[in-house]
Structure 1
Amino acid sequence: MDRRTLLGLTVALAGAPAFARAQAHAQASAQEGMPTEASLTLKPSLPMQDLWPGAAPGGEKVTATERSVLRKPDGDPNDTAFYNITKPWLSVRRPEKPNGGAVLLIPGGGYVRVAVSKAGGEVDAWLAGLGYTAFTMTYRLPGDPWAAGPDVALQDAQRAIRLIRSEASRFGIDPNRIGIAGFSAGGHVAGLLATRFAEQTYAPVDAADQLSARPAVAALMYPVITMGEYAHKGSRQEILKNVQAEVVEAIKTRSSVELHVPADGVPCFVGGTTDDPSVPAKNGILMYEALKAAKVPAELHLWEGNTHGFPLRGKDGQLLPWGPAALAFMQRHGLDA
C-alpha cells in the first residue's frame, strides 16, 4: 500500500478498547448476518414479498427444500437462519415519516445460509427511525445447483433493487436514492451488485426488469471480497462447490469483487476490524484500493479488534461508531437529496 493509499485510509483506533468490549458483548448475534437485538418474545413478521413472480430462474436441478432454523436452539426465537433458499424474499420496514431515501440490507451466513429474522432487527429499525425505508432480502445460495451457479445471489440482488425501484412511488421513496448495505457474505453480494449492476444475469420476467439495478451507494461491512489468497475459505468453497475443475480459476476471478470495479462503480464505505479471524481485513483493503484505482469514491474504516461482525449498539445502548460513519458516507454519496 503506497503513501497515497494510506492518506485515504482511516484506521479507527480512538476508543478502540471500549469498542472491542462492545463487540464481545453482542458478538454471537452479529456473527454472520446483521446485528440483532436479543428478545425472548417472537415478534410479528414485517411485510414481505417474493422476489420472483413464480419460481426463481434456473432451478430445474434444485431438489433441496428450503428450511429455517433457530441459530441457538434455546435462544431468541427471532434469531433465525435460512438454508437451501428457493423462494428469496424482500421485507420492508416503513418509517413513520419517510424522507425519500431507502436502504437494502443484505445479511450474511458464509453462503451456507442467510442469517436473518423475518421480524427485522436493529439496523432496519434504526434506519426507519431516521426516516429511511429499510428493506431486507434473502438470496439463493451457490452451493445449490442453480443454473446461474456463483452468480445466483447477484441475480437476486439485481432483482431486489429493480423491484424496489419499480415500487418507489408506493413506498414514498426517490428511485435515485436507494443504497445497499451488506454484511460478511452479504457484503460480497453487495460488492457484486456495486460493481456488476449493469451485467445481464437473467432474462427479464416483467416490467421491473427494464429498470436499472445500480444502487446509489453501498456499505460493505466486514465483507467477503476476494477469492484469492485472502479469501474467506468457507465462502469460496460454497461458490466453487458446483464448478467444473477446468473453470475454477475463471470463476475465482469472476467472483473476486476487487477485480471488477468499473469507472462508474458505486461509491463504497468499507468497514471491519483489524484482526478479523474469519474474513481477513485484507478483503476490505483490497476493495478500497481497487475503488481508489478506478477513481470511485471510497472510505475504509478498520477498528481495532479481533472479532467478525459487531453490534449496532454497545452494552450501554449507545450507537457504536460504525453505523453513523457508514450512514454519513452514504448520505454524502446519494442516499440523501
Structure 2
Amino acid sequence: MDGVTGPQSDVVLVLPGGGYRVHAPHEAEPIVEWLGAQGWFARIVNYPLNTAHPAPLRFVSRAVAEERAGGAGRVGVIGFSAGGHLAGLSALAPGLEPDERPDFAILGYPVVSLVDGPHTGSRAVLLGDNVDSPDDAVARSLSLETLVRPDSPPMFVWHTAEDDVVPVRHSYLLGGALAAAHVPHELHVFPGDVHGVALAADTDASAWTGLCADWLTRLPVTPR
C-alpha cells in the first residue's frame, strides 16, 4: 500500500530502517497502515541501499518535491533507525530547496551522530570511500545534531532507554540541539532494551503511537 495523494491532501513518507543495507519490512507497511488509521495518507519510500551519501538523501528529497508538485499540503517523513537518520537528514541538511524539505519529521530510535558513538554499519555505507579517513569532516556534516537550525521543522523523537544497537544518547544529542535552537519538538524515552521495535506492540514503548498521534493533531494546519 503506497497511499495516494490528492489536491491539498497531507502525506507522510515512510522510511524503514535496516542500516542502509536493507529495508526492514516491519517498519514499512505496518507504519503506513497505522498512519492511515490516524487519517494520514502515507507511502513507503524505498531509498537506495548500499549507496554512499548523497544518493539516499537526494532520493528522499525528490520524493518530497514530487508530493508537493502533485498538490500535497503538508509533507512529513517518518523513519526508524537508519531510516530515522535519513528522515532527519532530509529535514535538516543544508542546501535543499524549500520544496524538497519536509514540514515535519518523526524519528524512531534514530541513528543521529556519525562521530559520537556512531552506528558503524550506517557510517560505513554513507561514507563509502571516506569511512577510514582520519578527517571526520564528512561524518560531522551528516550528524544530525550538528545540522539543527532555528528554522528546522518540528520533530517527534522516541527511543528505548537500553537500546544496545543505537544507544539512546543519539536521541539525547538531537533533543539537546533542538532545544538549544528552540525548534518545536517532543522527545520520549521508554523502558526497554530491544532495537527495531517499530509499533512496539505489547511493550512499554507502545505508548509512542498515541503520543505521536496527538502530536500530529497539534501540527500547524498550513505548511511552513
What are the Cα deviations for residues 39-63 of structure 1, in whole angstroms up to 9, with x where unaligned? xxxxxxx3xxxxxxxxxxxxxxxxx
Q: Secondary structure at the match of 1:242?
A: helix
- Identify the residue that residue 45 of structure 2 maps to in structure 1: 137
Does residue 250 in structure 1 map to residue 167 in structure 2? no
For these two proteins, the number of residue pairs brought into alignment is: 221
RMSD after superposition: 2.7
Q: 1:334 aligns with which of 199, 214, 220?
A: 220
- Identify the residue that residue 54 of structure 1 maps to in structure 2: none
Does residue 265 in structure 1 map to residue 168 in structure 2? no
CA distance in 1, matches of 2:25, 2:45: 9
Shift of 1:315: 4.8
- Identify the residue that residue 100 of structure 1 maps to in structure 2: 9
Shift of 1:126: 2.0
Letter in 2 for 1:181: I
- Identify the residue that residue 102 of structure 2 maps to in structure 1: 215
Q: Indicate conservation of the 8 Å contact 1:258/1:290, yes or no.
A: yes
Letter in 2 for 1:281: V
- Identify the residue that residue 34 of structure 1 maps to in structure 2: none
- Identify the residue that residue 124 of structure 1 maps to in structure 2: 32
Does residue 295 in structure 1 map to residue 182 in structure 2? yes
Q: 1:199 aligns with which of 95, 101, 105?
A: 95
- Identify the residue that residue 115 of structure 2 maps to in structure 1: 228
- Identify the residue that residue 75 of structure 2 maps to in structure 1: 178
Shift of 1:245: 5.0
Does residue 278 in structure 1 map to residue 168 in structure 2? no
Q: Secondary structure at the match of 2:32?
A: helix
CA 1:94/1:246 → structure 2, altered by over 3 Å: closer, same or farther? closer
What are the Cα deviations for residues 265-304 of structure 1, in whole angstroms up to 9, with x where unaligned? 0111110100001000000000000011111111110001
Per the normalisation by structure 2, the TM-score is 0.87
Q: Indicate conservation of the 8 Å contact 2:80/2:198, yes or no.
A: no
What are the Cα deviations for residues 230-253 of structure 1, in whole angstroms up to 9, with x where unaligned? 211211122223227557411111
Letter in 2 for 1:116: P
Q: Indicate conservation of the 8 Å contact 2:35/2:41, yes or no.
A: yes
Per the normalisation by structure 1, the TM-score is 0.60
Does residue 166 in structure 1 map to residue 103 in structure 2? no
- Identify the residue that residue 114 of structure 1 maps to in structure 2: 23
Shift of 1:257: 0.9
Shift of 1:122: 1.8
Letter in 1 for 2:211: A
Q: Secondary structure at the match of 1:113?
A: coil
Q: Secondary structure at the match of 2:171?
A: helix
CA 1:239/1:335 → structure 2, altered by over 3 Å: closer, same or farther? farther
Q: Indicate conservation of the 8 Å contact 2:123/2:131, yes or no.
A: no
Q: Indicate conservation of the 8 Å contact 1:158/1:213, yes or no.
A: yes
Shift of 1:99: 9.1
CA 1:150/1:288 → structure 2, altered by over 3 Å: closer, same or farther? same
Q: Indicate conservation of the 8 Å contact 1:273/1:305, yes or no.
A: yes
Q: Indicate conservation of the 8 Å contact 1:258/1:286, yes or no.
A: yes
- Identify the residue that residue 208 of structure 2 maps to in structure 1: 322
Mind listing any 5+ residue stretches in structure 2 that lack a counterpart?
none
CA distance in 2, matches of 1:336, 1:221: 24
Shift of 1:335: 6.2
Letter in 1 for 2:56: A
Shift of 1:103: 1.0
Greater shift, 183-192 or 130-139, is seen at: 130-139
Higher Rg of the two aligned structures: 1
Q: Secondary structure at the match of 2:157?
A: strand
CA distance in 2, matches of 1:224, 1:315: 24
